[in-house]
Structure 1
Amino acid sequence: MNPKRCAACKYLRRRCPKDCVFSPYFPPNDPQKFACVHRIYGAGNVSKMLQQLPDQTRAEAVESLCFEAKCRVDDPVYGCVGIIHLLKTQIQKTQNELAKTQAEIAVAQTKLSQTQNSDFM
């Protein structure tokens, strides 16, 4: 076995060519990364996607594919949409809490200014 094969080529049990589209993004020390992506998208589809992208955007695309694939494995129904919904809900709750706190501050400031005005009279 060639220890320099990328995780994708090891997983697919093939030689890793010099121009392997997977090797820069799926290092041999992280085989689960490719296994997860392969399970959801398939090696052929991932290869086609990467080849269609400019070199400078491939790493970001692989990270996105890995994240989405892991989310889909963890939650087959909702995937990353479930996380997005959860985060939106948390943001909305936090915004509501902030608005409530700002309203309480405004009321307290109004009462304070009224108290200070009545003290001067």
Structure 2
Amino acid sequence: MSLESVARARTHQPCAACRTLRRRCDSSCILAPYFPCDEIDRFAKVHKVFGASNVIKMIQMVEERNREDAVKALVYEATARIRDPVYGSTGAVCQLQKMVQQLKMQLESTKARVLELQQQKDHFWGILLNVNNLDLLSTINGGNFSLDYDDSISYDPTKFPAECDDWII
């Protein structure tokens, strides 16, 4: 053996699966790419729920390009199964579906309320416009409308500050 291969052998650490199973991890270990040496807890969960030999069989059944996703799914299912032994990830999925249904109902209720408020606003604008038009027409037609200049309500800006000296600061 050359010095370089000895150094490589010493620096190679066993994967989390081989470390947990206390076996020698060689370069052909099928679990090494998916369970690196620093992720022992991930493999421990999967091993506890499915067993190491079943995990190896499941990984071998999947095409190589899809194996990483399969391992992620196994880890997720194992974590969910440890958290909830009866329902596993199905419980989480059902809970999320229930939340989605509740949110859909809430959205429909909110849309209905917005539509109702929009109709009320339109109704009040219609009433307001009709009342203003009627008042304007009755004022013009009734003869109370006057353009006469009334000196009592006029105001001279040059006299105003002089008349209110105590207001000016």
TM-score when normalising by structure 2:
0.68
Match of 1:100 in 2: 109
Letter in 2 for 1:108: L
Q: 1:39 aligned to 2:48?
A: yes
Q: Give deviations 1:6-63, integer Å, cap 9, x for gaps.
A: 0000111111121111000001111010011011111111111111211211111101
Q: 1:50 aligned to 2:59?
A: yes
Aligned residues: 121
Could you tell me which of 10, 15, 18 is aligned with 2:24? 15
Q: Percent identity?
A: 36
Structure 1 or 2, whichever has the larger Rg, is 2
Q: 1:61 aligned to 2:78?
A: no
Q: 1:89 aligned to 2:101?
A: no
Greater RCO, CA 8 A, separation 6+: 1
Cα-Cα RMSD: 1.5
TM-score when normalising by structure 1:
0.93
Unaligned runs of 5+ in 1: none
Q: 1:73 aligned to 2:75?
A: no
